[in-house]
Amino acid sequence: MGNGELSKRAHERLDVWQEAMRLVEMIYTLTAGFPADERFGLTTQIRRAAVSVPSNIAEGAARRSTAEYQRFLSIARGSLSEMSTQLQIATRLGYMQSDPDTDASVDRVFAKLTALMNALTTRGDS
């Protein structure tokens, strides 16, 4: 681990946070092509849900107890599911084509969130 890694906050070193940040970038690029009349509708909702994922991971990592951390990870996972549903709606409405890279990133973040939650449960401290 280089010196730059040592200066990062704990959440910034988490693979799940890093992947969630990449997903946010993908979502902003993907939704940039949505119709202008959706700027304050589905576009905003999808982006808000996407931003919520790494934000809640970071907030949870800064909490004092494992129970609080778990709660924020659960919120992040809920936001991820919300965003995934909204992407399906956008696809059904013809605003976008299904994107395998985005789908794979969503799956990776979901799996990593679940693994982290399970690890914290196994650790069992609060």
Query: pLDDT tens-digit profile of 93-117?
Result: 999 999 999 999 999 999 999 999 9
pLDDT band at 2 (very low <50, low <70, confident <90, very high): low
For the chain, the structural domain boundaries read: 11-123
Q: Please answer whether residues 90 and 34 qualify as being in contact, where contact means their C-beta atoms are separated by less than 8 angstroms.
A: yes
* Sequential DSSP letters for 14-42: -HHHHHHHHHHHHHHHHHTTS-GGGTTTH
CATH superfamily, with its number, for domain 11-123:
23S rRNA-intervening sequence (1.20.1440.60)
For residue range 42-86, list pLDDT tens digits in order. Answer: 999 999 999 999 999 999 999 989 999 999 999 999 999 999 999
